[in-house]
Amino acid sequence: MFISELSSLLDTSFVINDTEVFITSSIGVSMFEKNAATTASLLKNADLAMYSAKEAGKNCYSVFSKENHEKIEKEKATCHALHTILNKGNKNNELYLMYQPLLNINDSNFSECEALIRWTNDDGITTMPDDFIPLAEKSNLIEKISLFVIDEACKQQSKWQRNGVKDVRIHINLSGNKIIFEKLLNHFKANIESRDLYPSLFGIELTERTLDYISDETIRQLDQLRRLGMKIAIDDFGTDYSSLSQLKKLPITTLKIDKDFISGIANDRDDQALVKTIIQMGHSLQLEIVAEGVETYEQLTFLKDHSCNTAQGYFFHHPLKSKHISHLKLVA
């Protein structure tokens, strides 16, 4: 009760130079003997609990626990390892790309793939993107990781062109705040030009939350790339709250329906209604619709019956190494 009252007391405002300034508090709590035996460890644990409160949305309190401590320490170790790998130029090739095919939903023709980053350390232990990308976003490592993905994808596309694999479009995920996104886009354009590649050999995938950071100048650049044949997709569509005005403003070619909606379309009426609505809305805007995470024949049948254009998922292919993409295309 005392902590709640303290938090309420701190949730106040001050007037400075005729301007009202509001403050809130994030409080970490650690208890002597139960959580710590010394003053130093007591303060350290309270500090760790405070960061848990901030992660929970701020303006709240968190009590230290062994589970939270282990979670934070693991996250610190993961970020430190990532930082080390990137600063050393990935010399041991711990970071690498896999490619998941996107197939035409009617005839299963294949001409596109999504570049997906993977991390396997020297001991052979693989850390999946869901476990390190959110941490990279919080620790500002996402810029370096995105630059790595751009470089590797462009390098691979250049190699495919030399080896006769001429028409496999690579989709790359770009995200970040306004400054980071503009830097990534400029790096991407420079990479394409320096390797003498066509923009039509690539696609850019944006998350819905990234749309808030896109400037008018970036929209102009995206529009130029679209006119040169590059696809521009909104990834995981439906998980955030993008407005129709944003879809109208941006040079989007594609909507990718999030896999969480696809997983239930065989028997969940709400998911069925949402997916049908997205498909109909997208087609009314003359957009291509891609279904992510297709894993069963029943899901594929539903999507085909409702005129979805493209699908990717384990029903067709797991993410593949570049050499397997080459073979898949050459034998198709």
Task: Assess whether 108 and 58 both reside in one domain.
Answer: no
- pLDDT averaged over the chain? 86
Task: Assess whether 189 and 320 both reside in one domain.
Answer: yes
Task: Assess whether 126 and 198 both reside in one domain.
Answer: yes
In this prediction the pTM is 0.83
Longest dimension (CA), the chain: 72
pLDDT tens by residue, 63-98: 767 777 777 788 888 889 999 999 999 999 999 999
Rounded-to-integer distance, Cα 204 and Cα 214, Å? 13
Q: By residue range, what is the domain housing residue 7?
A: 2-64
Percent of the chain at pLDDT > 70 equals: 92
For residue 76, CA distances in Å to 48, 69, 70, 136, 139 come to 12, 11, 10, 11, 10
Total number of domains in the chain:
2
Q: Which pLDDT band, with edges at 50, 70 and 90, does 56 fall under?
A: low
* CATH number, position 222: 3.20.20.450
- Looking only at the bridges linking them, the beta strands covering 231-237 and 254-257 are parallel
* DSSP track, 43-64: HHHHHHHHHHHHHTTSSSEEE-
Q: Which pLDDT band, with edges at 50, 70 and 90, does 244 fall under?
A: low
pLDDT at position 296 = 95
- Looking only at the bridges linking them, the beta strands covering 110-120 and 95-104 are antiparallel
Angle, alpha carbons 136-140-142 (nearest 5°): 50
Average pLDDT over residues 169-180: 87
